[in-house]
Structure 1
Amino acid sequence: MTAQHRERGAAAVEFALVLPVLLVLVLGIIDFGRVFSAQQTLTYAARAGARVMVLQNSQSAAVSAAQNAAAPLGQLATSAFSVSPSQCSPGTQVTFTVSFTVTGTGFFGNFPLTGTGVMLCGG
Structure 2
Amino acid sequence: MRDRMHDQRGAAAVEFAFIVPLLLVLVLGIAEFGHAFQVQGTLSAAAREGARVMALQNDPAAARAAVRDAAPTLDPAIADAQIAVTPAACPATGAGTTNVRVTIDYPMPFLTDFFGASIDLTGTGVMRCNG
Same fold by TM (over 0.5)? yes
2:100 to 83, 86, 94: 94
Structure 1 residues 13 and 56: alpha-carbon distance in aligned structure 2, compared to 1, 3 A threshold: same
**Once the two structures are aligned, what percentage of the paired residues are identical?**
50
Deviation at 1:8, TM superposition (A): 4.1
**Cross-structure match for 1:59:** 60
Q: String of CA shifts for 1:60-82, please: whole Å, max 9, x gaps.
A: 00000000111111211222101
> What TM-score, normalized by structure 1, do the two folds share?
0.92
Structure 1 residues 77 and 2: alpha-carbon distance in aligned structure 2, compared to 1, 3 A threshold: farther
**Cross-structure match for 2:119:** 111
The runs of 5 or more residues in structure 2 that have no matched partner are: none
Structure 1 residues 5 and 88: alpha-carbon distance in aligned structure 2, compared to 1, 3 A threshold: farther
Give SS of 1:74's match: coil
Displaced runs of 4 or more, over 2 A: 1-8
Question: What is the RMSD computed on CA atoms of the aligned residues?
Answer: 1.6
> What TM-score, normalized by structure 2, do the two folds share?
0.87
Deviation at 1:103, TM superposition (A): 1.4
Q: String of CA shifts for 1:12-71, please: whole Å, max 9, x gaps.
A: 100110001001100100100110000000000100000000000000000000001111
Give the count of matched residue pairs. Answer: 123
Structure 1 residues 17 and 97: alpha-carbon distance in aligned structure 2, compared to 1, 3 A threshold: same
Structure 1 residues 56 and 17: alpha-carbon distance in aligned structure 2, compared to 1, 3 A threshold: same
Larger Rg: 2
Deviation at 1:122, TM superposition (A): 2.5
